[in-house]
């Protein structure tokens, strides 16, 4: 690890991908880090996640390419079907040149596999990870936390990576923050064993044909991991009824009007708990004294959003890079303010976009059809160049974002200027 003129003690609340990534970013910058994970161990819960270029490029830069290759699945084709009829709307193929320009790849990864890789890498860097560490309260004035066991821990900076319902967001949002259940929309995620898929010749094509990820407009999408045993289905349900568990009968009812392939998939699903999609207000402040929020604690995105995990990891990369320039304690507040400014400008527009897509699912059928016509110019359209995809330039901008470069650009454009304006001698960054 690089030797810092001033090395701080960071306490990260939350041992998920967000917290572990932040720990790695800070440790790579020479700071001491303790992660408090409320779980006793990593779960065996299945669940593929999309890893878009703005995320994978961070891990590549951290030297995790080999580890990612062992746990990820690269996809090159995307097909879109109409949920109700199975009508084929479009197919498009990744543009290798564009992906090379972004510096990353489009991958699928099992969430828990990714956590394990990040946890092992963080530990190898010297990060202390404490499991079964439930945080009861945070004292921002004392920069300390109290665990359920009664133990009190102190640090120079506390990082809240414990999600939208965690204790740290409550410090900034207040104890009575109200979330909005988006039009009674719920998400249901389930995994199907590969052996069950292979018993159906048509479904077996998901594994035997060229790697493809299929997304259904409206209410469902599916994905799989190449050599893994799981096949994942997301189902978005709109309705006024409330239920604690989705039964097989309920799943059959929800997909009764869908294409036969999806109905056969759902027959193999194990019932589970639906997750309501909540929208939270945009916090004006992510920083209080020396407490800073990251990830879902700062900017909760809807379940299944492609940018939820990437934005959380970007947070850790930016925070770590900013604090790589730390030389004096009086710089801390400025770095935390810079983090908030940079990340709110990045995350809040994408949050609004993600919830806008969720609300589209609640539109009347005719309005959804208008939206689909705008997004997909013709039926059975084969898009061999991603640049032909509507709004491709917006997607390219999102994928091309480099979190650590963003932090370094701030330092060169503003941080150094502030130092010089205060008469502090600084080394040239070039």
Indicate the pTM of the whole model: 0.89
Whether residue 189 is predicted with pLDDT greater than 90 in this model: the reply is no
Q: Tokens in use for 160?
A: 């809240």
Which residue in 35, 5, 40, 38 sits closest to 23, CA to CA?
Answer: 35
Residue 368: per-residue pLDDT: 63
- pLDDT tens figures, 89-122: 666 666 677 778 889 998 888 888 999 999 999 9
Contact partners, residue 287, CB within 8 Å, separation at least 6: 293, 336, 337, 339, 340
Whether 226 shows a pLDDT value over 60: the answer reads: no
In the structure, what pLDDT confidence band is assigned to residue 29 with cuts at 50, 70 and 90? Answer: very high
What's the CA gap between 227 and 205, in Å, rounded? 14
Residue with tokens 């967000």: 18
CA distances from 169 to 150, 241, 329, 353 (A): 21, 29, 25, 22
**Residue 116 belongs to domain with CATH number:** 3.50.50.60
Determine the pLDDT at residue 54: 96
> Residue 134: inside a domain, yes or no?
yes
Q: Inform me whether the pLDDT recorded for 216 exceeds 50.
A: no
Query: Residue 379: pLDDT band by 50, 70, 90 thresholds?
Result: very low
Given this model, what pLDDT does residue 78 score?
67
How confident is residue 247, by pLDDT bands cut at 50, 70 and 90?
confident
220 lies in some domain: no
Our count of domains for the chain comes to 1
Given a contact cutoff of 8 angstroms between Cβ atoms, the answer to whether 338 and 414 are in contact is: yes
> In this model, does residue 209 exceed pLDDT 70?
no
In a domain, 21, yes or no: yes
Q: In the 8-state DSSP scheme, what is residue 391?
A: T
Residue 136: the pLDDT is 97
**257-283 pLDDT, tens digit each:** 777 877 888 888 776 677 788 899 999
- d(CA 279, CA 333) in angstroms, rounded, equals 29
Task: State pLDDT tens for residues 55-89.
Answer: 999 999 999 999 999 998 877 666 666 676 666 66
Q: Which is nearest to 399 in space by CA: 60, 16, 51, 92?
A: 51
Strands 144-147 and 135-139: antiparallel
pLDDT for the residue numbered 197: 83
Handedness of CA 120, 126, 127, 131 (dihedral sign): positive
CA angle centred on 212, ends 208 and 215, rounded to 5°? 130
pLDDT tens-digit map of 38-51: 998 876 554 678 89
Assess if residue 312 is contained within a domain.
yes
Question: Residue 211 above 80 pLDDT?
Answer: no
For residue 337, the model assigns a pLDDT of 98
Burial class (CB in 10 A: 0-12, 13-18, 19+), 362: middle
Of 380 and 133, more confident:
133
The Cβ of residue 372 has, within 10 Å, a number of other Cβ atoms equal to 16
Does residue 5 surpass a pLDDT of 70?
yes
Asked whether residue 14 is assigned to any structural domain, the reply reads yes
Predicted local distance difference test score (pLDDT) of residue 213: 42
* Beta-strand pair 88-93/381-383: parallel
Three-state SS for 219? coil
pLDDT digits (tens, 9 = 90+) for 282-304: 999 999 999 999 999 999 999 88
Between CA 43 and CA 395 the distance in angstroms is: 33
Largest CA distance in the chain: 73
**What is the overall mean pLDDT for the chain?**
83
> Quick one: pLDDT at residue 377?
47
Cβ atoms of residues 343 and 286 within 8 Å: yes
> Strand, helix or coil at 133?
coil
pLDDT over 50 at 218, yes or no: no
Domain boundaries, position 295: 9-73+104-178+282-365+390-422
Residue 225 domain-assigned? no
**Three-class secondary structure of residue 105 per DSSP:** coil
Residue 191, in any domain of the structure: no
State the angle between helix axes of 332-360 and 403-410 in degrees (0 to 180), rounded to the nearest 10. 140
Higher pLDDT, 250 or 307: 307
């Amino acid at each position: 690890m690089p030797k810092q003129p001033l090395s701080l003690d960071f306490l990260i609340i939350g041992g998920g991908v967000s917290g572990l990534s932040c720990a790695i970013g800070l440790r790579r910058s020479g700071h001491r880090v303790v992660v408090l994970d409320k779980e006793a161990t990593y779960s065996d819960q299945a669940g593929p996640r999309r890893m878009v270029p703005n995320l994978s490029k961070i891990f590549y830069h951290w030297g995790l390419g080999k580890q990612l290759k062992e746990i990820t699945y690269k996809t090159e084709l995307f097909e879109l079907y109409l949920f109700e009829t199975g009508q084929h709307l479009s197919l498009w193929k990744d543009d290798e040149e564009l992906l090379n320009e972004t510096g990353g790849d489009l991958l699928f990864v099992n969430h828990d596999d990714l956590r394990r890789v990040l946890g092992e890498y963080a530990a190898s860097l010297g990060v202390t990870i404490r499991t079964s560490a439930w945080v009861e309260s945070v004292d921002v004035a004392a920069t300390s936390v109290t665990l359920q066991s009664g133990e009190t821990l102190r640090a120079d900076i506390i990082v809240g990576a414990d999600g939208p319902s965690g204790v740290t967001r409550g410090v900034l949002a207040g104890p009575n923050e109200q979330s909005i259940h988006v039009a009674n929309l719920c998400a249901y995620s389930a995994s199907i064993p590969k052996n069950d898929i292979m018993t159906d010749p048509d479904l077996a094509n998901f594994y035997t044909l060229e790697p493809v990820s299929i997304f259904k407009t409206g209410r469902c999408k599916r994905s799989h991991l190449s050599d893994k045993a799981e096949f994942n289905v997301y189902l978005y349900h709109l309705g006024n009824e409330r239920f604690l568990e989705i039964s097989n009968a309920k799943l059959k009812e929800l997909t009764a009007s869908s294409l036969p392939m999806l109905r056969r998939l759902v027959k193999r699903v194990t019932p589970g708990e639906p997750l309501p999609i909540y929208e939270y207000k945009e916090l004006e402040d992510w920083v209080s004294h020396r407490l800073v929020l990251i990830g879902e604690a700062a900017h909760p995105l809807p379940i299944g959003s492609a940018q939820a995990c990437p934005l959380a990891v970007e947070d850790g990369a930016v925070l770590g890079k900013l604090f790589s320039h730390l030389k004096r304690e009086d710089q801390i507040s400025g770095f935390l303010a810079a983090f908030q400014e940079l990340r709110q400008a990045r995350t809040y527009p994408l949050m609004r976009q993600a919830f806008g897509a969720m609300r589209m699912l609640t539109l009347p059928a005719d309005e959804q059809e208008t939206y689909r016509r705008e997004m997909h110019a013709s039926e059975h359209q084969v898009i061999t160049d991603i640049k032909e995809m509507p709004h491709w330039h917006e997607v390219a901008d999102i994928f091309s974002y480099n979190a650590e470069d963003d932090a370094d650009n701030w330092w060169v454009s503003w941080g150094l200027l502030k130092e010089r304006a205060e008469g502090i001698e600084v080394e040239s960054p070039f």
